[in-house]
Amino acid sequence: MSLTNRQLRLQSRPKGLLAPGDLELVESPVPELKDGQALAQVKYLSIDPTMRVWMAADSYLPAVAIGEVMRAGGFAEVVESHHPGYKKGDRVTGLTGLQEYVIIDSSAKHFLQKVPKIPFVSDTVFLGVLGMNGLTAFFGMEIAAPKKGETLVVSAAAGATGSIAGQIGKIHGCRVVGIAGTDEKCAWITKDLGFDAAINYKHPDWKEKLVAAAPNGVDIDFENVGGEIMQEVLSRMNLHGRVVVCGFISGYTKEAPNMVSLGTVIVKRLRIQGFLILDYAARFMEAATQLGQWKMFGKLKDRETIVEGLEKVPDAINMLFTGGNTGKLIVKL
Ligand SMILES: NC(=O)c1ccc[n+]([C@@H]2O[C@H](COP(=O)([O-])OP(=O)(O)OC[C@H]3O[C@@H](n4cnc5c(N)ncnc54)[C@H](OP(=O)(O)O)[C@@H]3O)[C@@H](O)[C@H]2O)c1
């Protein structure tokens, strides 16, 4: 049976938010499988801020070329296989791309991981709390080396990564303060997730509220945003505090991101460390096992924002930069 693949290909490098036409929807027949290949149907796409980085320029991965299927994480199920390592029904996560079908082979380019079917657990957890975001929060918090009683501040705290990082801070006995962009998000992270305080950075008095929420200063900054928010948190850091630089989302859509002044790093003898989750691939299973246990015992709660349809992906990507998502943002195909 011949199948049609619908794909979103990069047509132009966005300026600011994505504009219509930056990603073009293209239909083409799925090619016949060769020996050593398997065909997987993509069920869910992971919508991540780094996609905007991949559209713009070379960074830790090469920029997506114009005309190429846009790189993206996803969850897929094998529908046909001529590959000894995959059989029909196998479920995988990895870089599926923004498309309905992906051909997988033995190359490492898709970073594929097989994932199990867990009763009563949705497949989408493998993109969020047990996927890249949970793993990022896990290893970022490992770098932070939290101690009981310390104060942790998390920015983009109601997002996929921040919401898990903050809960890991609570597991370690920290006082956890989240920064997020709506009162609803602030209510979710305090009432449901157990953060000690939440600051809506869109309120004019948010800086005073941050001071009040961290009366003993800040020992750990789990930084997802950068710019003015990072600057304000840095100004509250305690001696020998740790700054874990996970991301700078406030700059991804800007030509000239807001710079942060680092004078306080010397005065407060801070340790700043950036990290990339891809460097931790050898330890994913270890971390996912721990995250799974925490989730099973109710210590980690997660939420998803699900958008339906491949053609909605450009709007969904923009939601990350306008705060339209709470928890993990996923497009269901
Ligand atoms: N280092 C790594 O390996 C790695 C891996 C995964 C993710 N990350 C980084 O982690 C961060 C979070 O990613 P995620 O996938 O979990 O996304 P997310 O937090 O689920 O979504 C992004 C959120 O960022 C907030 N935001 C957007 N623009 C902002 C701005 N200008 N100022 C303040 N907040 C803003 C929005 O929430 P509000 O409503 O609160 O504004 C939005 O919902 C990103 O910086 C990402 O690049 C890094």
258 or 255: which leads in pLDDT? 255
Domain assignment of residue 247, yes or no: yes
pLDDT tens per residue, range 103-143? 999 877 788 889 999 888 899 999 999 999 999 999 999 99
pLDDT tens per residue, range 7-19? 999 999 999 999 9
- The mean pLDDT value for 169-190 works out to 98
Identify whether residues 148 and 102 lie together within a single domain.
no
Query: Residue 45: CB within 6 Å of ligand 1?
Result: no
pLDDT value of position 52: 98
In this predicted structure, the answer to whether residue 315 has a pLDDT above a threshold of 80 is yes
Distance CA 324, CA 318 (A): 8
Distance CA 184, CA 180 (A): 9
Write the single-letter amino acid at 122: S
pLDDT tens per residue, range 268-307? 999 999 999 999 999 999 999 999 999 999 999 999 999 9
Domain assignment of residue 67, yes or no: yes
Identify whether residues 257 and 308 lie together within a single domain.
no
* Tally of domains within the chain: 2
pLDDT value of position 257: 78
Centre of ligand 1 to C-alpha 6, Å, is 28
Domain assignment of residue 298, yes or no: no
Query: Residue 181: CB within 6 Å of ligand 1?
Result: yes
In this predicted structure, the answer to whether residue 97 has a pLDDT above a threshold of 90 is yes
Domain assignment of residue 295, yes or no: no
pLDDT tens per residue, range 210-230? 999 999 999 999 999 999 999
Atom 22, ligand 1: residue with shortest CA distance = 320
pLDDT value of position 1: 64
Burial of 38-62, coded b for 16+ CB within 10 Å and e otherwise, reads bbbbbbbbbbbbbbbbbbbeeeeee
Domain assignment of residue 69, yes or no: yes
Query: Residue 246: CB within 6 Å of ligand 1?
Result: yes
Centre of ligand 1 to C-alpha 86, Å, is 34
Write the single-letter amino acid at 281: A
Centre of ligand 1 to C-alpha 180, Å, is 10
Identify whether residues 123 and 158 lie together within a single domain.
no
- The mean pLDDT value for 175-187 works out to 98
Identify whether residues 144 and 274 lie together within a single domain.
yes
Distance CA 88, CA 40 (A): 9
Identify whether residues 35 and 54 lie together within a single domain.
yes
Identify whether residues 115 and 149 lie together within a single domain.
no
Query: Residue 189: CB within 6 Å of ligand 1?
Result: no
Query: Residue 316: CB within 6 Å of ligand 1?
Result: no
Measured from the CA of 327, which atom of ligand 1 is nearest?
20
pTM comes to 0.97
Identify whether residues 58 and 180 lie together within a single domain.
no
In this predicted structure, the answer to whether residue 150 has a pLDDT above a threshold of 80 is yes
How many alpha carbons fall within 13 Å on the CB side of residue 318? 13
Burial of 252-267, coded b for 16+ CB within 10 Å and e otherwise, reads bbeeeeeebeeebbee
Measured from the CA of 133, which atom of ligand 1 is nearest?
6
pLDDT value of position 195: 98
Identify whether residues 317 and 205 lie together within a single domain.
no
In this predicted structure, the answer to whether residue 320 has a pLDDT above a threshold of 90 is yes
**CATH for 121:** 3.90.180.10
Q: Which domain holds residue 192?
A: 132-278
Centre of ligand 1 to C-alpha 17, Å, is 14
Centre of ligand 1 to C-alpha 82, Å, is 39
Identify whether residues 64 and 144 lie together within a single domain.
no
Identify whether residues 149 and 222 lie together within a single domain.
yes
3-state SS, residue 128: coil
Domain assignment of residue 297, yes or no: no
Identify whether residues 34 and 140 lie together within a single domain.
no
Measured from the CA of 275, which atom of ligand 1 is nearest?
1
Atom 28, ligand 1: residue with shortest CA distance = 321
Domain assignment of residue 284, yes or no: no
Query: Residue 275: CB within 6 Å of ligand 1?
Result: yes
3-state SS, residue 234: helix
pLDDT tens per residue, range 37-57? 999 999 999 999 999 999 999
Domain assignment of residue 189, yes or no: yes
What are the Cα distances from residue 120, in Å, to 85, 104, 117, 125, 316? Answer: 27, 28, 9, 11, 27
Atom 9, ligand 1: residue with shortest CA distance = 247
Identify whether residues 230 and 257 lie together within a single domain.
yes
**CATH for 232:** 3.40.50.720
Distance CA 200, CA 208 (A): 11
